[in-house]
Amino acid sequence: MTAQLQIGFIPLIDAAALIVAVEKGFMRAEGLDVQLVREVSWSNVRDKLNIGLFDAAHILAPVPIASSLGLGHIKVPIVVPLTLNLNGNAITVSPALHAAMMHEIDGDPLDPMATARALSRVVAARRKNGGEPLTFGMTFPFSTHNYLLRLWMAAGLVDPDEDVRMVVLPPPFMVDSLASGQVDGFCVGAPWNSIAVDRGIGRILHFSSDIMQRAAEKVLAVRQQWAEKNSQTLASLVRAAFRAAEFTEVPDNRNEVARILARADYIGVDASVILRTLEGRLKIAADGTIREDGRYMMLARDDASAPDPVQAAWLYAQMVRWRQTTLSLEAMKAAQDVFRPELYDAAFGRIGEPRAPAKAIGSFAGPIFDPQNIEGYFAGLPAGGGRG
């Protein structure tokens, strides 16, 4: 019997596992008839998942936690049986801001600590001269983009809530907002950083993998009630998406995947931009400068697909740090319980088998994150906003 599912997604390359699973028949092989529904904003995806218009969704990793805890919206328990990707974002700034930062920098421009301190000097100079605060775009308050931007800024003693403006923009609107001068920079997922570079209006300053070694970015999310009622369908969905992620990671398949994702009903940008992203070879400046990073976006390799409760704990800690909620050990446990490695293992018949230890998140600044010592983590944070 075929199960019919509606799954929401945003036009981003990190939706690849779901798109490829449909287009290459991995869903059909698992007995699933999936309709992918393209949305513009994360609030649309969240709301339609929460009320049951979507059976599952490609969504920002922090959103299921926020939804399960009732932060920023109604409380709806959501579970994550699969991580769709680690990393994959970048911080892009206007040529004018890049030039101002490079004038102030003391150190390697690829070092996020050096650029964070340069940003601090630019911010101070603007304030001294009576200039308007810089404005940075991010995709959603409960997003890894938001927390990466804040982590980077705070390391340089820039307070994201006092020294700059932070605004929410849907991913497809980032580039035009930079072009019009409405924002001076943004953090967003691929391909929109590359589009800004190709249009000559942006410079990629950092990959998210410069800020953190492993950051859960997008996840497959379903309502907890739906997961409990449809365990076999959920297992089929996890297997299909994982196999599509594996397919996408194979170098010989990347041209085909890029062509699929480039279609107007999916992402709607040139396939060559998508291919560069899949290869981890991004043009970072209009002059054609290329940067390579094998960790730029991880879909299936190095255990990237397994939901990691430590990642969920880190995301919850950022919600606390940036005053989106208050610290509660009960809420910390509830946040970790949103990421469900046992559902992932069940899809592959690995129930009860020992799991590999969680890999370090690897932030470029601040203390090592230990969910067992959350107060120690907060105490060790640099100043510059939040609990630091």
Structure tokens at 13: 């390359």
- Name 281's bridge partners: 292
**Amino acid identity, residue 126?**
R
Q: What is the pLDDT along the chain (388 residues), one digit of tens a residue?
A: 789 999 999 999 999 999 999 999 999 999 999 999 999 899 999 999 999 999 999 999 999 999 999 998 899 999 999 999 999 999 999 999 999 999 999 999 999 999 999 999 999 999 999 999 999 999 999 999 999 999 999 999 999 999 999 999 999 899 999 999 999 999 999 999 999 999 999 999 999 999 999 999 999 999 999 999 999 999 999 999 999 999 999 999 999 999 999 999 999 999 999 999 999 999 999 999 999 999 999 999 999 999 999 999 999 999 999 999 999 999 999 999 999 999 999 999 987 777 777 788 899 998 999 999 998 999 998 765 555 4
Assess whether the previous peptide bond of 64 is cis (omega < 30° from 0): no
DSSP state of 25: T
User: Has residue 281 been placed in a domain?
Assistant: no
Encoding tokens for residue 227? 């997961």
Residue 313 shares a structural domain with residue 372: yes
Does a structural domain hold residue 197? Answer: yes
Question: Do the domain assignments include residue 185?
Answer: yes
Q: Say how many domains are in the chain.
A: 2
Q: What Cα–Cα distance (Å) separates residue 284 from each residue in 12, 14, 144, 263, 316?
A: 18, 19, 21, 24, 31
User: What distance in Å separates the CA atoms of residue 32 and residue 236, rounded to the nearest whole number?
Assistant: 8
Q: Which of 211, 226, 243 is the last residue of a domain?
A: 211
Mark whether 111 and 181 lie in a shared domain. Answer: yes
Answer for the pair 36, 18: CB distance below 8 angstroms, yes or no: yes
Q: Are the C-beta atoms of 385 and 378 separated by less than 8 Å?
A: no
**Cβ neighbours of residue 379 closer than 8 Å, sequence gap 6 or more:** 367
Residue 283 inside a domain? The answer is no
Q: Measure CA 319 to chain center.
A: 15
Distance CA 123, CA 364 (A): 21
Position 97: which residue type? L
- Is 55 a domain residue? yes
Looking up residue 173, the CATH number of its domain turns out to be 3.40.190.10
Burial class, 321, CB count within 10 angstroms (exposed 0-12 / middle 13-18 / buried 19+): buried
Q: Are 221 and 358 in a shared domain? A: yes
Check residue 385 and give its pLDDT.
59
Residue 278 maps to a domain: no
Which residue range forms the structural domain that includes residue 198?
A: 89-211
Whether 241 and 367 map to the same domain: the answer is yes
Query: Is 59 within the bounds of a domain?
Result: yes
Overall pTM surpassing 0.75 (yes/no) = yes
Local structure of 272: helix, strand or coil: helix
- The DSSP bridge pattern shows strands 185-189 and 135-138 to be parallel
Q: Determine the pLDDT at residue 388.
A: 44
